[in-house]
Amino acid sequence: MSETPATILFVGDLVGGLGRRTFLGLLPALRERHRPDFVIVNAENVAGGLGITPKIADGLFAAGVDAITLGNHAYHRKEIYPYLDEHERIVRPANYLRSQPGHGWCVVESDGTRLGVVNLSGNLYLRAGRPAFLEIDTILAELEGRVDHLLVDMHAEATSEKVGMGWFLDGRVTAVVGTHTHVPTADARVLPGGTAYITDVGMTGPRGGVIGVRKEQAIESLRTHMSVRFDTSEDDPWLMGVLIACAAQPRRAASIEQILVPWSAG
Ligand SMILES: [Fe+2]
Ligand SMILES: [Fe+2]
């Protein structure tokens, strides 16, 4: 491991082209300011609000993203299926069926520090083939001795499942970050065992919509219960993420700080 403990910038779900542009637009300033050793993004909504394409994934990697995590929209675009099998640093939830394309964890390296990145799906209100709480034990056993730090993206609907996963992994991983609800929560902290935790990081994209969707369309759907076309909102783009400072001790964090930044060029 390198002399200075690593810093991880984890960015919440990029929503649509606006989310991608917001992230790419703000990244140079964030790099300058926080000097992250690792940049990880959840990009399950980056292709027009649903899924991801090989071209977009390539663009994110070209911008210096170290690893991409996904979630329940991982398979929205068919052209990504072979890419998920072929590319190590893009992960879909590890507790999906083995028959589904892709894999659930990867190890990335920077300046001698090995960071494991695990994607998990909650089991409440989301379709995942295996229980997240059992799967993670298997993964931790597999990664034993192979990583210095470990970040788990727990992609889940229910806050209870995410809080539970934080406590379950406290003292065993560097960070547990929640994604999927697109709304950042106010509970970022390092748990007593040394694991950085937040229930939801939030999203990167239009804060002026309803979790990414144009607000007029979302309200119309909620008001009428009729089928309404959903487009990605273009209103009020923000980047939402967390900055995690790893501790000198393996698999422990020193701090976690929320990053909530408007993008004025949007
Ligand atoms: Fe999402
Ligand atoms: Fe999701």
Please report which ligand is nearest the Cα atom of 15.
1
User: In this structure, are residues 40 and 8 in contact, taking their beta carbons and an 8 Å threshold?
Assistant: yes
37 vs 3: CA distance, rounded Å: 13
Q: Residue 227 and residue 80: Cα distance in Å, rounded? A: 27
Distance 215 CA to ligand 1 centre (A): 16
- Number of the ligand closest to the Cα of 156: 2
- From the first residue on, what is the mean pLDDT of each consecutive set of 10 residues in the chain (266 residues)? 86 97 98 98 96 98 98 98 98 98 98 97 97 98 97 98 98 98 98 98 96 96 96 95 98 98 82
Burial class (CB in 10 A: 0-12, 13-18, 19+), 111: exposed
pLDDT, position 2:
65
Of residues 34, 73, 76, 155, which has the active-site annotation?
Answer: 73
Residue written as token pair 């000097």: 35
| C-alpha of 100 from chain center | 20
Q: What is the pTM of this model?
A: 0.97
The answer to whether the Cα torsion of 21, 25, 14, 65 is positive or negative is positive
Please list all protein residues whose beta carbon sits less than 5 angstroms from ligand 1, which is an ion: 13, 44-45
Query: How many angstroms does the Cα of residue 37 sit away from the middle of ligand 1?
Result: 24
Going from the Cα of 18 to the center of ligand 1, the distance in angstroms, rounded, reads 14
Q: How far is CA 178 from CA 73, 159, 182, in A?
A: 16, 9, 10
pLDDT of residue 266: 47
51: CA distance to ligand 1 center in Å? 9
**pLDDT at residue number 116:** 98
- The verdict on whether 73 is a catalytic residue reads yes
H or E element at residue 162: helix 159-169
Q: How far apart are the first and last CA of the chain?
A: 39
CA of 99 to the centre of ligand 1 (A): 23
Ligand 2 ion: nearby residues, β-carbon < 5 Å: 71-72, 180
Q: For residue 72, give the ligand nearest its CA.
A: 2
CA distance 215 to 22: 19
CA 81–ligand 2 middle distance (angstroms): 17
Show Cβ contacts of residue 37 under 8 Å, excluding neighbours closer than 6 positions. Answer: 6, 7, 8, 110, 111, 113
pLDDT at 1: 62
